[in-house]
Structure 1
Amino acid sequence: MSKASREERRQGPSLVRGKFLPDSTYDERLLDRRGSTEWLHMDPWRVLRIQAEFVEGFGQLGELPPAVTVFGSARTRPDDPDYAVGETLGKALAEAGYAVITGGGPGIMEAANKGARQAGGISVGLGIELPFEQKLNDYVDLGIEFRYFFVRKTMFVKYASGFVALPGGFGTLDELFEALTLVQTRKVTSFPVILLGSHFWGGLLDWIRDTLLSTGKISPRDVDLMTVTDDVDEAVRIIAESDRERNGGRHQV
């Protein structure tokens, strides 16, 4: 890790630099059970900080119009074709009346925020404290920095009418399978999960069918919880149709 990448870090609403940089993140300290029993006295106080993050998220996002959460790799460069798809998606969602929510970082997230901003839509970025510096991208109109992943994940789902995953890494896969699990267990209803980019997602879908389904790890209807497409307009149409179905034929935009 380069020295430059350690020079500053967001910690919730705070920015720390230099000697104030901690050696670990809030999530890491919360989940660490090693060492002394100090956590017995610390964890009850952490609950208040966690509560404050939920309150901040609910307060900032509660009056958003219908929104769609878009995920994809932070490592995607602006000259990558996937970046252009993300930008087109953000624009199409904004033109359909949706706010666009991303993780607020670079790459695909930046592309979707950029498209939404350029189309005159609402561009939202939900950042997270990481052990390496990653600031909110310049196309975020409403940004919130979180300390804890599980609080941030709640915001991604609670205020979304659907979820679109573009090519990405572990973070994208984490959010994808969490969304699928919530739909499968009916914790959320009428929540389309769309995988945009058959060149990237096709192999995963084949594995889900050929391995998970064929060995009885999931049911046949679970495969239908996600849609793989290369068509941005189709992705937006699926989300809008789900909205209309949920709201008795009315598109809530």
Structure 2
Amino acid sequence: MRRSKVPRSTTDQRLLDSRGSADWLHTDPWRVMRIQSEFVNGFGALAELGPAVSVFGSARTRPEAPEYALGEQVGRALVEAGFAVITGGGPGGMEAANKGALEAGGTSVGLGIELPFEAGLNEHVDLGVNFRYFFARKTMFVKYACGFIVLPGGFGTLDELFEAVTLVQTQKVTSFPIVLVGTGYWGGLLDWLRGTAAAAGTVSEKDLALLTLTDDPHEAVRIVVEAERAVAEQQALAEQRAATGHPE
């Protein structure tokens, strides 16, 4: 830096001067540090979680609704199959899955998000991490899960669903099962994808095969279990071939 670009104070001076404005807290460089801290906190909290499944669902689902009971059944069945349950930590369908997991004696994880209309994690979360940034939170949903189970939900659930499908479709993540629970709720969406999007050539039948639809929470969990078993068998076979010097 030369001439007028040379700063009138040093970096240390600006760092140590408490009399200046606190606007620097809201600048992009400082946000980068906050983003980094969210990834570090998430990785640290979940690194030893073990096999887990992310369950998505609406925050607006009422406790007396059939979808809430469905979420409880999903959470309970996942724990009985040996999985921890990861949700967004909020109310509604997320709370239901956390409740089912906790009551079944499993690990109930909530990845909360800072929103003006949601206050804190639901009471059934026993391992929680709060996030400011959606993209950091979404990374945790994918990185520490071996499958997704999707309960009826709104825009947030649709966002998480289609991001998961896109990551699998583009091979940005190892292929894992994505199960939609509720034929009456999700059937119309799949009909549109098949009858309109696939007919127009914007998605393929292979893409649609990434989604499985069921009404049975136990079938949803069975699909995840079978996919996880298949992955384990493939890994064991690859290790065996490597050990014998026959990689093909």
Structure 2 Cα separation of the partners of residues 219 and 183 of structure 1: 14
Q: Please give the alpha-carbon distance, in whole angstroms, between the structure 1 residues aligned to 2:118 and 2:46.
A: 24
Cα deviation digits, residues 90-133 of structure 1 (max 9, x gap): 00000101000000000000000000000000000000001224
Who is 2:133 aligned against?
148
* Alignment match, 1:95: 80
Q: Which protein is richer in strand relative to its size?
A: 1
Distance 1:247 1:113 in 2: 26
1:181 aligns with 2:166: yes
Q: Deviations over 1:122-161 (max 9, x none)?
A: 0000000012242210000001110000000000010001
Q: Which moved more, 1:128-137 or 1:80-89?
A: 128-137
Partner residue in 1 for 2:114:
129
Quick check: 1:190–1:243 contact (8 Å CA) kept in 2? no
TM-score (norm 2): 0.83
Matched with 2:47 is 62
Deviations 1:28-58 (A, max 9, x none): xxxxxxxxxx89x911121111000000000
| Aligned AA (2:157) | T
Instruction: Specify the SS of the correspondent of 2:152.
Output: coil
Paired residue type of 1:224: A
What is the CA distance between 1:190 and its match in structure 2?
A: 2.7
TM-score in terms of structure 1 length: 0.82
- Check whether the contact 2:90–2:118 (CA below 8 A) recurs between aligned residues: no
Alignment partner, residue 53 of structure 1: 38
Paired residues in the alignment total 213
Amino acid at match of 2:81: A
- Higher RCO (Cα < 8 Å, 6 or more apart): 1
Greater gyration radius: 2
**What stretches of structure 1 of length at least 5 have no aligned partner?**
1-37
- RMSD of Structure 2 on Structure 1 (CA): 1.6
Structure 1 moving runs of 4+ over 3 Å = none
The alpha carbon displacement at 1:249 in A equals 6.7
* Correspondence for 1:75 among 60, 77, 83: 60
* Residue 232 (structure 1) aligns with: 217
C-alpha displacement at 1:221, in angstroms? 0.4
* Cα distance in 1 between the residues matched to 2:73 and 2:160: 21
Task: Kindly state the Cα deviation for residue 250 of structure 1 after the two structures are TM-superposed.
Answer: 8.8
Higher helix share: 2
Aligned to 1:25: none
